[in-house]
Every structure is written in structure tokens, then in C-alpha cells.
Chains A and B, each alone.
Chain A
Amino acid sequence: MQPFEYASPTSRSEAVRLLSPRWGETEALAGGTDLLGLMKDYVCTPKRVVSLKRIADLRGIHLVPGKELRVGAMTTYRELTENESVRRHFPVLIQAIERIRSEQLRNMGSIGGGMLQRPRDWYFRLGYGLLPEKDGQAMIANGDNRYAAIFGNSGSASWVSPSTIAPALIALGARAALYGPRGLRVIDLDRLFTTPAQPGEREHTLRPNEILTEIIVPHREGIRSAVYEVRQKEASDYPLVLAAVTLELRGRSIRSARVILGQVAPVPWPSHEAESALVGKTLNEETAEAAGEAAVTHATPLSMNRYKVQLTRVAVKRAILEAA
């Protein structure tokens, strides 16, 4: 691990001042479950690490019933699962978090850090960068891509977005509050994620000297929701594919739907095809199956991950049926 300076500010403005406007020079530290490993492997080599632990107003869970849930970015997964209002009103979040099958990760990992964790892609983790290339060839497309993206994968960044919580939050319509030198901005959570195309770009739209301060989730009664993960293992492991679904029903008829896929694209992947296949239909097995089929219409699997197309089909179908 390269030597680095450690800063532990107590306010968000101080934190932002300590962060460099250029990527690579500084890193913000939340739960530490990802960054420290990346530093030990020299994948991240910041000169300064800015801990966010002592900034009190980055923690906490507040529910305004009928309006919104506000969760400080440094709130741990464990704090979320132990919160009665979250358990009662956002069961899909609890479902997603409890599928992180590592007690240690749930204890240490924060909701904000979870959104901003780096890709698990093995080429990235071995130090080949976010756009891994060898002799001008995209490494993922030409190498071992069994776990890689089946959507949005035409460039070199064809790894998958790692968060298993973001799809559920996006399906719930969550927004993210970002704080930087120019103050606060609030964006739709799905806008936090992007696919880098040029060297130096990251997979998040967060600026290098901004911090994620809060996740804001609209609260509406009567929304049905579920997340379905296809996992090879019960023990700690990332799912192969996941689908998060929210449905608004009138009787058995679907008024509106959000279907967000995880582990299939460099960003949490909204499936408009699946959503269109649902709206106006009666919620039943046939509809769910058709939505699963629609979800993969435009899939572009790579040489070794065609099986993920089938897994996506099934995850969408099962998430819908579980939400019903």
C-alpha cells in the first residue's frame, strides 16, 4: 500500500476542501470495505484519504410518511435493517440488504459507499483499469467475460455495475444528494451512474471533490416491490443477475411499473421493454413471463455470458411474481 495522508474532517465543507478536483489524487473513505482492498492491491493509489466517519450529519434515517425517506450516506446497512420504519415501509430495501450474505459487510458497509463501490471486474481488480485493453483489443470482450455485461457493453467498459441495492432504490424512484464546492445538488439516483468511455472518466457522475450525502426515497403507499437475485451460492457472493421491480396496481391491472436490472450492464439497467410489457396488463404469470422475455429483447451477450440472458429473463419474471 502506497503511503498516504489521512484526513478526518468533522464537516462536509471541510471534507470537500480536502478532496482534489482531479480523480486519483484523493479518495473519500466511507465504510472502507472496498477502498482499503483497492489500495492494498494498488488499484487505487490516493495521496490523501478523506474519512467521512466524523461528519455527524451524514448519518441517520428520517421518514416523513407519505412523502419521503431520507437516509444519510454514511448510514450502515445494519442500521437500515434495524430501523422499524424502513422495515415496515420499504421491505424491498430490507430484502436487498439481507441478501448481502456477509455480516461484516452489512455491519461496516454504508449505503453511500455501496452506491459508489468500484466494479468487481477481474481485469479492473488486476490493475487493467476501467477500460481494460491489450494490444488495442477490449480485454473483456476478447477475454473471459462470463460475468460481464449483456447490455450497454459495446465499449471496453463492459463490466457490470456492482451494487445490489442501487437497482431497488432506483426502482423506488430514489434521488441522491451530492455536496461539492458549489453547494448541494440533487439528482435522480440513476443519473449517478455512467459508463466511462474515455481514460480518466469514472463510472459515477459524482465529481472528484463532491461527496454523496444522502439518499432520498419517495414514500408512497400501495407500491408493490421485490428484488430477485439469481445466486450461484448462498454464502457471501455477488448475484449473477438481479431484477428489482416496483408495481403500482389498480385491482389486478398494472398502472405503472419500474424494472431495474443489476449485474447485467455497466450501470443499473432500466428495462423499458419490460416496463412497457407490464403497463395496462393483468398481473399474472403470463404477464410476468412476457416481461421477462421483453427485458432481454435487446441483449447483446458476449462470447461467454449468453447464459445471463436466460438468467435475466427468469429474474424479471420472478421479481414481478414476488412483488405481486
Chain B
Amino acid sequence: MASCKYSWPAANERHLIGKRISRIDGPAKSSGRAKYTLDINLPGMLFVRSLGSPYAHAKIASIDTSEAEKMPRVKGIQLMKRAGDEVQWAGDQVAAVAAETEEAAEDATRKIKVEYQELPFLVNEADLNHAKTAGRTRIATQEKVGDPDKAFADSDAVVHEGYYGIPVIVHCCLEPHGHVLQWTGPQNLRCYSSTQSVSTLPSVFAEAMNIPANNVEVISHYMGGGFGSKFSMDLWGSAGAQLAKQTGRPVKYLLQRAEEMEVAGCRPSGFARIRAAAQKDGTLTAWESDCWGTGGPSPSGVLPIPYVLTNIPNRVRNHTFVMTNIGPARAWRAPNHPQACLLTMSALDDLADKLKMDPLQFFMKNADLAPENLGKVYREELQKAAELAEWSKYWHPRGDKTPGHLKRGLGLSIHTWGGRGHVSNCQVTIEADGSVTCELGSQDLGTGTRTVIAIVAAETLGLPVDAVKVKIGDSRYPYDGSSGGSTTVGGVSPSTRRAAVDARDQLFAAVAPGLGVSAGQLEAVGGRIQVQGDASKSLTWKQACRKLGARKVQAVGKNPGECMLGSSGVGGAQIADVTVDTETGVVKINRMVAAQDCGLIIDMKTAESQVYGALIMGVGYSLFEEKVMDPLTGRMLNPNMEYYKFAGIGDVGELVVHMMTGPGYDERGVIGLGEPPVISPGAAISNAVANAIGVRVPSLPLTPERVLAALEQKGEMA
């Protein structure tokens, strides 16, 4: 791979790439110097609060803001709905008030009089027949391959049939959605936005405000998570910009926690009746699924099941969309995958049990049903995960036979994701003082993007990481892709590499004559520019840069571009180790093991962090999280962090992360990592619970209530 100009350095030439390097913005974040959108306070700034609908489905008859306008300290009101509009979920915003204090804004929203005509709502989709009766379903096209009927009828086939479910959950980003908006001129808007999309947001604001896109600046230096829910300007962006214009003052419009949880995005649910068949030796032969789920008022994606092992020779899939008033669907870290994974891997684990087969052997055997030749990757990852989870020591056939009420079990799951790098442009500048700056209109959601860019540039220029200044999070920098679909590191690493190589070569050209060699004979290593193979002929980095004089070296690198620096398609295997109290139904995680590939790893530490975070998030949605909707009012009952339960540090157990590296992995170039590790925890934990207690708890989250119900159905409740 060294034949191409921009190729990644060979393993023995990597000084920084692949090492454990702490994030460069860690001190700024932990000391509070890093300013998030929520921290932005501008002189004269107003605070915005919104009024949401108390009804899950209603038509607005009238809106009267006259009393609110007269409230003290109120400076502006914007309607987000008009008479005649329908609200499709409780909390859907109707109007926004800008006032001099948060309290005054909030108080004024309560003086807005809205008349609603209530309409029938549906917030519970688990009962498909109920949804059908309510006329809230739409059937997607059936997908069929081979002859499933015949395969299921085969006398040699072992068939399992089951029901599984995974509920609607929310993102609950640590930093809420929103913007601080400031008009810097009659036609010029500055947006401090908590966004996954710094480079594309200006055109969205521009269109809404009818101004040229180059007059809009979007800034997001630091961000408290998005998970797929923060690509858009949103209603609160346009209303906020209008309020700033109307009042002539900057406004801060960040959602309140309850609002965030009610209106800023749902992960669609998935429920399925599944039949799966295998030959007695475990070879999968047939799949049939009737699946349904909701992503709010519009149809959401068809869940890709059977998941990972997609090439089961005979398969048929039906999907029914359920349209509900639970709130709007938004991409949630690996859209559709955690649902598809839970449904598929639970059913296959149950089939393995029926076959009296160790699921590790079962998945090893069937791994080649995965596309893109990932079979080998899965076998290696399953092997590694099994070793780290001590599978041979702790796995047992279903139902821990140890006396007493504490039952231990192991469960596994595999997953996949694309993760090809997005469009990226990186401008690298080297100046005579030795400074190196990388500029990209990218953003760091908290994942380590900033650090990865610095590592790639520093590695290329033979410098320490802290010699590189990374400027991102501002739309004035070169255009970069949105951070979604695990595309960022795979996008910014190649563009930075290409820019840094070109800038380095320009610097070589500037200093080569002085060293009496040609530029091609130079290398940048250890903070020096030196003649390859002759370290005696060298300059320090600073000496070399000084030769630039008043010139500066500047290069723009693009992705996609020349030389293969990244690709797509990862696997991943996880094993959960749990203990279940069969008297209380409480599930405790002992250990979560993840073996994950993502091609060439730039920063081992932030890569591992991504996986740790995904495991924590995964434990949360497996055991605790659920958007609880009230059957009586259609409102979310738990729009807070008390009843919308999250895993705390005492709930996640020991987390073991192993990143797959070396031959077979590194040469695939850089691939994204954000999403894949969050896909498997649901299935792995559900399978571990089934292994512990000997019965499937069909739906997440695995609450005491559900665990006890499953035990009771099995007739084994203590």
C-alpha cells in the first residue's frame, strides 16, 4: 500500500496512529473553558421558551397571544403553528416567547390561549390489532427469496417460532437541542448551534430567513452529543432566528429537558413474530418474519431482518408501519440496526437452544451468511469475545442450575455497519513560525474528531500532537460532511492526510535546495526534516519552517480522493454476562465484552471510548429505557431523568473492549466506529438473561416486571 503518495504509513512507521492518545480538548472540557452552545451568553441576549400542545393529536382552532404580550419583560412572540394546523404529538410546539429572563419567558407561555379540537390518538403500538382497528397501519411490500414454505416444511428442519419487541426510546442528549442566534447585520445571521452539521446548516437557515447562505455563520465548537437527532435547524431554529430579528437582540433557544424528550426525536420501535429453521447440524435454512413498529406519524424504515445473516437461502419478510402520536422519529445511533439485531439475534439464539447447540458454535457455523465476506471477521471476533468473556468457563445450556435465586448467564450477538467516510475538505497551513493549522467545517460531537485530525496531521508532519492546531466547528472553514452514519473519522482522516502530505511536500521543496538534495529525498520525522537515511543532514521543524519567510505553505486535501485511505463495512461481536435475581426479576450486568473492527484505527483511546460509551448506552436501553406514553392523555409520562431511567456507573458492570487490528484490518483503511458497538447490547443482554433463567423475556427493556412475568409463564417463579 506504500506505492501511493498518500497511503497510510506502514505499521512500523506509525508513531502516533493507532496509539492511545488522550483527547486534545480534554483539559478545556474538564476545566469548563470549552464553551458549548448552552454556555454561550451574549450581551442583551433574550431567553426563549416554548408552549407545547397538551394533546397528542388535535386541531388548533385559535391562538391568542394578547395577554402574553403584555407580560413584563416579554420582548417577542413567534407562532410555530397557525389556526387550522394539526399537532401530531403532545409537546409539539405552538408558540415561542422571548423575554429578558427564563422565568418571564416561561410564565408568558402560560398566558397564551390556545383552543384545540381534540382528535383521536394512538400511542401504543405493541398491540397491532388495535392499531389496525384504528386505521393507523400501512403494509410495506413483502420481500421474498427462495421457497420458505418448502424449507419450513422439510422434515429435517428444526423450527423455532417466537415473538420479540423493542420499544420506542429517546436520545436525551446531555446537551439539549437548540441555538443561540444573533443577527450581526440586517442580512447576516450568526448561529451558535448544537449541531451534527456545521457545514450544511447555513443553507437551511438561509432559505428559512431568505438571505444568502454565505451570510450565515454556524458555530459549534463543542457539543454535548447528538446521536443522530441534531442534523436540522428545526422549528426552534427558525422561530429563534425570527425572534432575534423581531426583537433586534440575540436569543438563546435551547430546549428544556422535558421538551427535549417529548419532541426532539424517537428511536422507532420494532415488534415481530418470527419463524426460523435450521438443519439438525445448525445450518440455517429459512426465515419468516411479520414485523411492525412505529416512528411517529409517518412510516419509518423497514427493519432489515434477518439481520447480519442476510443470506439465509429461503426467507420472507413482511413489515407493517404503525402511525402513532408518540412523537417524531429521528435517526438514533445506527438507525434500524439495534431493533433488527434484537429481533434477529434473539430468535436465532432461541433456535440454537432448540437445536441444543452452543450459540457460539451456531453463529460461527452460519457466519458466512453475512454479506461482504465478513464471515472471517465474525469468526475472529466471536473467538476473541468468547476468550475475553471466558465463554468456555461460564456458558451453560439454558437455565443456570445453581441452587438459589441468583442465576448467571452469557449471551452473544453480532452486528454490522457501513461507515464509509463522508465528503471532507481539510486545509492545512504551515507558517514560518512552525505553526500547523488544520481547518475543516466539521464538528466534534464528543467523539474525538478534533483529536483524530491532530493525530493524522502530526503523524504526517513528524510532529507531536500538540504542535497541530485544529480548527473545526465553524461554517467559515472548508466544507465538511455532517457527522452521521459513522462517517466523520473516515472522512476527515483521509482529507487531512492528503492535505498534510501536500503541505509537507511543499515544505520539502522549500528546504531541499539548502540541504543540497531533492525534495523527494526528504522525510519528516521526530520533529525534524531530514534526508532519508542520513539524519546528519537535517533541520529542526522550526528551522525548516523559518525558511518559508513571508510565504506560508497551504494545501487542501479532499475526501474522496486519490489513494485508498478508507473503506466500509465492519462487523463486531459482543458477549453479555449477567446475573438475574429470580425472586425480584432484577438483572445485573457482570461484564460486557466487545470485539470490534473499524479498519485502521487512528486513536486507540478515543476508539475504545466510543465502544465503552456504546456499551453504557446499550445497557441503558436494554435494561431501563422506554418512552412511556399515557394511554389516557397520549402524553409522555416520563419526560425527565427520574422515570426515564438511565444506566449509572454502578449498573454497567465491567466493560471489556478489544479493537481488532493488524493484518486483515489495518489495510482496509479508516472506517467509522460511532454506531456499530451500540447495536448488539440489546440482543446480547437479552440472550444472556435467557441463558441465565431458561426462558426468553421477549421485550426490552428487561425490567423486573417483564422478567417476573416470563418466569411466571414458564412456571418457575420462586
Contacts and interface: CB of A to CB of B under 8 A. Distances in A.
Contact of A233 (B630, B632, B645): B645
A218 B681 CA distance: 50
B704 A311 contact: yes
B651 to A, nearest CB: 5
B243 interface: no
A235 B632 contact: no
Interface string B588-627: 0000000000000000000000000000000000011000
B430 to A, nearest CB: 48
A76 to B, nearest CB: 21
B127 to A, nearest CB: 14
B704 A232 contact: yes
Interface residues of A, number: 34
A235 B649 contact: yes
B120 to A, nearest CB: 14
B433 interface: no
Contacts of B628: 122, 144
B64 interface: no
B638 A314 contact: no
Interface stretch (B32-40, B438-446, B579-587): B579-587
B648 A233 contact: yes
Interface string A231-248: 111111110100000000
A47 interface: no
Nearest to A309: B708
A36 B640 CA distance: 15
A126 interface: yes
Nearest to B708: A307
B103 interface: yes
B13 interface: no
A231 B705 contact: no
A143 B631 contact: yes
B715 to A, nearest CB: 14
A238 B643 CA distance: 9
A299 interface: no
B106 interface: yes
B476 to A, nearest CB: 38
Do most interface residues of chain A lie in helix, strand or loop, or is the interface mixed? loop
Interface string B683-706: 000000000000000000001110
Interface stretch (A5-13, A64-72, A134-142): A134-142
B107 interface: yes
B709 interface: yes
Contacts of A144: 628, 630-631, 637
A233 B585 contact: no
Interface in B26-60: none
Contact of A146 (B633, B646, B648, B705): B705
Nearest to A310: B708
A120 B642 contact: yes
Contact of B585 (A122, A147, A307): A307
Interface string A102-145: 00000000000000000010110110000000100101001110
Contacts of B704: 230, 232, 240, 307, 311
Nearest to B709: A307
A233 B651 contact: yes
A42 interface: yes
A267 B545 CA distance: 76
A2 interface: yes
Nearest to A40: B106
A1 interface: yes
Contacts of A310: 583-585, 708, 717
Contacts of A305: 705
B647 interface: yes
A143 B630 contact: yes
Contacts of A120: 642-643
A237 B632 contact: no
Most buried by A among B631, B632, B638: B632
Contacts of A42: 110
B549 interface: no
Contacts of A233: 624, 645, 647-648, 650-651
Contacts of B643: 120, 122, 147
Interface of A: 1-3, 42, 101, 120, 122-123, 125-126, 134, 137, 139, 142-144, 146-147, 230-238, 240, 304-305, 307, 310-311, 314
Given A234-B648, A307-B708, 8 more contacts: A3-B103, A122-B638, A144-B630, A144-B631, A230-B704, A233-B624, A233-B650, A311-B704
13 contacts: A1-B103, A123-B637, A126-B635, A137-B632, A230-B586, A235-B648, A235-B649, A235-B651, A238-B642, A305-B705, A307-B585, A311-B584, A311-B704
Which 7 A/B pairs are nearest by Cβ-Cβ distance?
A: A235-B648, A234-B650, A307-B705, A122-B637, A143-B632, A314-B583, A307-B708
